[in-house]
Structure 1
């Protein structure tokens, strides 16, 4: 195994040992497949959610709340190689609004940015012929939101 590969694997192992727990992992179709190098992609997502039932101790209260959230997310990623290992890095930012109405109308609406996320993944093992892969990812969330 080349010296650079050993260094990269050791670095990711150290990051995983000394970092806190992950709160969530966002996997999309084909995220596990090692990418071809030299590609840049952008992903734009919009999510709208509404909640019209207020619960207290798992029991609906009968109030008529209306809580609507709108969220936009932009993710920019680029694929490359580290030594001979396939890798991808991306940065993700977003913004959204939270609008209370109905029985929640006394509360103010809010809007703002999401936390910025930077991620890098490498595949120490990637066999495209047999479609078997092993990848490791590191995430960094910056409190910008």
Structure 2
């Protein structure tokens, strides 16, 4: 019985960890604000997350699980005008470390650069006077990151991904803004998955986010967000694994312009429910943004 539970746990782990970096397309409130053409942004992110529970099909796996991650992202954004529409070509380069702990220490660790992400938002609604924006963003994730099929933890996924995301910002009361974001992600195959060099395929994943921001002043806001992600089932060599994910989480935080061109952001959050994979009990996000 113990061996059966252990084998089931390992299968659940590998399915969950194969898509761990896929959660990186969560956005911060205000990201769908269109800035004037010619504006450039340089951003640095840092995220520390701790996970202390493991779930399979909605039930806790009977093991003391642990997985910590320290991940950074370098991001560059340029705003430009194309045919009267504001567009912002950008790139994101993640990097960091994942480390198994406690009863899942056998996972080892993984570090290095993640997969490069290329993106560009096109704003179909851009009403600065009314603080109302609507944009559509295609994201292309390229398999450039560090990947070792013999390791359970990798920053790179060794597959291409395409995400189409839409974001909407509107005021709902004086000094209060609502951000709504939704996306869908489709996956290429990883044809070198695991020690047997199997083919890993995955069905489409879906995400939705909602954020409220209270603008304390022109230079500061406080915010709260809720996120729901449904990750597609994975298949290894054509065999389905029954590992469709369904995660709900929240965060709380604030931003502050320490000077006219420099903004600091800090949020804290955690998962409230997880169907498959690790459950985060704490996630801290920090961001430094420079406008030039």
Distance 1:56 1:84 in 2: 49
Name the counterpart of 2:60.
Answer: 59
Name the counterpart of 2:143.
Answer: 143
**How many residue pairs align between the two structures?**
122
CA change 1:101–1:87 in 2 (3 A) is: same
CA change 1:38–1:100 in 2 (3 A) is: same
Name the counterpart of 1:103.
Answer: 103
Name the counterpart of 2:50.
Answer: 50
Deviation of 1:40 (Å): 1.0
Name the counterpart of 1:11.
Answer: none
> What does 1:1-145 align with in structure 2 at a 5 Å threshold?
25-56=25-56, 58-61=59-62, 63-145=63-145
TM-score, normalised to structure 1's length? 0.70
Distance 2:28 2:95 in 1: 20
Q: When you count strand as a share of all residues, which structure comes out higher? A: 2
Q: List runs of 5+ in structure 1 lacking aligned partners.
A: 1-22
Deviation of 1:60 (Å): 4.7
Name the counterpart of 1:16.
Answer: none
Distance 1:50 1:110 in 2: 15
Structure 1 stretches (4+) deviating beyond 4 angstroms? none
User: Does the aligned pair in 2 maintain the 1:35–1:87 contact within 8 Å?
Assistant: no
Bigger shift: 51-60 or 88-97?
51-60
Higher RCO (CA 8 Å, separation ≥ 6 residues) = 1
CA offsets 1:32-71 (integer angstroms, 9 cap, x no match): 332211111111111111122344551351x333221111
Distance 2:140 2:72 in 1: 20
Distance 2:139 2:55 in 1: 34
Bigger shift: 132-141 or 45-54?
132-141
CA offsets 1:13-49 (integer angstroms, 9 cap, x no match): xxxxxxxxxx775433333332211111111111111
RMSD of aligned alpha carbons: 2.3
